[in-house]
Amino acid sequence: MAFFMGSLDTTILNTAVPVIARALSVTPLAVKSVLASYALSLAAFIPLCGWMADRFGTRLVFASAIAVFTMGSALCGLTTDMQALVLSRVLQGAGGAMMVPVGRITLEKTFPRSELVKAMSFVAIPGLVGPMLGPLVGGAIVSYFHWRAIFRH
């Protein structure tokens, strides 16, 4: 589920950009920084994952990643201005960046080599489906609910 949520969040806001722009009284182009901040945060924090997992343990880092991601999502849903939304997305991206690699390290340590491919494919499929469903889910949410509901997953 963590892999799915992390990958879903890479695209879920794409269809919500005009609605968020209207709600925050900014141009749609300004909302692009919200999208970019998540992606850049992912890229910035992924290299730290292996070191953190070795130093603090995979279980603690994975649990912390889920907590940081969840906290970032909650803050995104509560924000009232662009700067706070961008900062919240950076926090959400930091948690999301840690979830996938550390989750894979956990799988590698948990399953024997003979079952590792099966376990990895079981986890990879939801992670690949997330970005495909993101625009559809985001569009449905902003059509029938408030844009803040995107962050209440």
| Span 110-116, average pLDDT | 86
Which of 76 and 50 is assigned the larger pLDDT? Answer: 76
Taking 90 as the threshold, does the pLDDT of residue 66 lie above it? yes
Classify burial at 32, counting beta carbons within 10 Å of its beta carbon; exposed 0-12, middle 13-18, buried 19 or more.
middle
Amino acid letter for position 81 = D
Return the percentage of the chain with pLDDT > 90, whole number. Answer: 58
What's the number of domains the chain is made of? 1
Instruction: Report the CATH number at residue 41.
Output: 1.20.1250.20
Range of the domain at 36: 2-148
Position 81 in a domain:
yes
Which of 62 and 123 is assigned the larger pLDDT? Answer: 62
| Span 111-134, average pLDDT | 85
Position 153 in a domain:
no
Position 92 in a domain:
yes
Q: What is the DSSP string of 28-77?
A: HHHHHHHHHHHHHHHHHHGGGHHHHHHHH-HHHHHHHHHHHHHHHHHHHH
* 58-to-16, 149, 151 alpha-carbon distances in Å: 34, 31, 26
| Span 46-53, average pLDDT | 89
The model's pTM: 0.87
pLDDT band at 6 (very low <50, low <70, confident <90, very high): confident
Considering only CA atoms, which of 84, 81, 104 is closest in space to residue 7?
A: 104
Considering only CA atoms, which of 44, 29, 37, 49 is closest in space to residue 10?
A: 37
Position 11 in a domain:
yes
Q: Kind and range of the H or E element at 126? A: helix 113-144
Position 73 in a domain:
yes
Taking 80 as the threshold, does the pLDDT of residue 153 lie above it? no
